[in-house]
Chains A and B, each alone.
Chain A
Amino acid sequence: MTKIKKGTSYFYLGLVFLFLYAPILVLIVLSFNDSMSRTVWGGFTFKWYLNLTSNDNIMNALGTTIRITLASSILATVLGTSAAIGIHYMKKRHAAIMLGATNIPLLNADIVTGISLMLLFTRFTPLGEFSVVLAHIAFSVPYVIFNVLPRLQSLSEACFEAAMDLGATPTYAFFKVVWPEIFPGVLSGFLMALTMSLDDFTITYFTKGAGVNTLSTMLYTQLRKGIQPELYALSTILFLLAFVLLLVINFKGKGRDNRKEAVAK
């Protein structure tokens, strides 16, 4: 690349960065704003950070979000990994049917998935945290399956059989031979499920019932009534956490490629 072209490239990247980060900058600035107004700067303060833990509304929503996200992504990973192994060893025709069904939540619009699950849940179970966990599993299992399957397909069966020939039990052989190979896929599937669940609004909105709020659904109601400034503080903390996590993953190197795969899928 010539010098000038390099300059314009960096300028262009910078502009897109500015576009992506402008709203985040605004939120961070507002988290230190002493005025309740969104547009007037009232001086520097830490009070929203100090008030944060005593705001029950926000703390409840944060707790609910963490519980739902962890429960659904762990369960989705277990269900999806076992499903991927099962599908891998199925007859071709049966595997094709299972994969077709697995594609449905990916192809469907969020709003349709949310509504169809709500229609089902209202018949059989009261809407609440439990139904949200089920719904989150429903949309994240496919990501786990599609992350684990390629790993299984590139696995050499000879290794597993060699382990068996050498006297390993199938379980032992699985954990010594298969598991290390598929683990990166399981991990990236889990991380994707985690990310999707953490940020989901639409499906939670339809399946949550009254009284249950994740951060996203709480924000949705607050955006109309006026937002509590403590939320700016919380968002700044969460953003910094993500940033630090990213630095750790990035400079540890090893996990880097998995994460990239996870987000890029």
Chain B
Amino acid sequence: MINKFRTSFLAAPYAVWVLICTILPLLYILGYALTNDAGSFTISNLTAIAEPVHLKSLWLSIKVAFVTTIICLIIAYPVALILHNLKITNKGFIVFLFILPMWMNFMLRILAWQIILSNNGILNSILSAIGLPTIHILYTKAAVTLGMVYDFLPYMILPIYNALSKINDQIVEAAADLGANWLTTFTKITIPLSKDGIISGIIMVFVPALSSFVVSNLLGGGKVLLIGNVIEQEFTLARNWNLGSGLSIILMIFVLVSMSIMNKVDDSENGGMLV
């Protein structure tokens, strides 16, 4: 017999770890958020989000994250579907080719986008070579969104692909046998059954996009201020750890709220399907 009581103590080091490296840091950030630099209690670091400059960057973050998620979904779903329907033996290899770019340092790939998008860069060289007008996209919101779509796309493709792989092909065939056309089968069978993948894809793209500051720094050239950039600046340049912590707590709440909304959508649909 396994001595369950004694075996469960294998988690003891981890329990200590959780207290020190998960719970305690959160208490620290909360502590900084709720005090001023003299150490007395205040909620002004939290209410600071209502200042126009902070509100503007939060709103911009939400917009950019939202657009990024939608674009990723639009690009990724067909990719996942095509990959799933590929009738070749070494499908795993093709799927790998979509993952491989993630193994190249993220910073270098963003640098490459700087080079591609710059005013006398590759994109514009190609555009003028084929006689089209050049575009000035670097250091704009469009460039930041493009960088994020690029960075997060695999996180949308993989969960949807996995969800599609779990669908029983017989259900799709049965729908066809019963006279459903391609579109009906797709909207009534394929999409609902891949909903889990879509939702985890949305979460995996939206949350990091909401809090990112690196892409906006490098492709936005300091002109696109997301809430992540504001927080980073409070910690590194302004050295106002209290305000930085306060805004981090607000960001955390936003992430948690958006995730629980997504999970709710997920739950209700599952419940509906079981009935």
Interface flags for A112-144 (1: CB within 8 Å of B; 0: not) read 110111111001000000000010011001000
A56 to chain B, nearest CB (A): 19
Whether A98 contacts B11 by the Cβ 8 Å rule is yes
Q: How many residues of B contact A (CB 8 A)?
A: 89
Counting CB contacts under 8 A, is B220 at the interface?
no
Whether A116 contacts B121 by the Cβ 8 Å rule is no
CA distance A242 to B235 in the complex (A): 35
Interface flags for B1-43 (1: CB within 8 Å of A; 0: not) read 1111101111111110110111111101100100000000000
CA distance A161 to B2 in the complex (A): 7
Select A112's contact among B24, B101, B211, B259, beta carbons within 8 Å.
B211
Whether A199 contacts B78 by the Cβ 8 Å rule is no
- Residues on B facing A (Cβ under 8 Å): 1-5, 7-15, 17-18, 20-26, 28-29, 32, 75, 78-79, 82-83, 85, 87, 90, 92-93, 95-116, 118, 120-122, 150, 153-154, 158-159, 161-162, 207-208, 210-211, 213-214, 218, 228, 231-232, 235, 241, 244-245, 248, 251-252, 255-256, 259
Whether B104 contacts A263 by the Cβ 8 Å rule is no
How many A-B pairs fall under 8 Å by CB?
232
Given that A1-B85, A23-B116 are contacting pairs, would A83 and B14 also be in contact in the complex, using a CB cutoff of 8 Å? yes
The residues of B that contact A112 with a CB separation of less than 8 Å are: 29, 211, 248, 251-252
CA distance A192 to B95 in the complex (A): 17
Given that A161-B2, A239-B103, A264-B162 are contacting pairs, would A119 and B208 also be in contact in the complex, using a CB cutoff of 8 Å? no
Q: Which of A237-265 touch B at CB < 8 Å?
A: 238-239, 242-243, 246, 250, 256, 260, 263-264
Whether A20 contacts B98 by the Cβ 8 Å rule is yes
Select B259's contact among A107, A157, A220, A243, beta carbons within 8 Å.
A107
A172 to chain B, nearest CB (A): 14
The residues of B that contact A54 with a CB separation of less than 8 Å are: none
CA distance A250 to B95 in the complex (A): 11
The residues of A that contact B105 with a CB separation of less than 8 Å are: 199, 215-216, 219, 235, 238
Closest to B222 in A: A224
CA distance A263 to B98 in the complex (A): 11
Whether A39 contacts B118 by the Cβ 8 Å rule is yes
B12 to chain A, nearest CB (A): 7
Whether A24 contacts B112 by the Cβ 8 Å rule is yes
Whether B14 contacts A108 by the Cβ 8 Å rule is no
16 sample A-B contacts, Cβ–Cβ < 8 Å, listed by A number: A20-B98, A39-B115, A87-B11, A105-B22, A107-B207, A109-B251, A111-B211, A111-B231, A115-B235, A116-B26, A116-B28, A120-B24, A195-B103, A235-B104, A238-B103, A260-B92
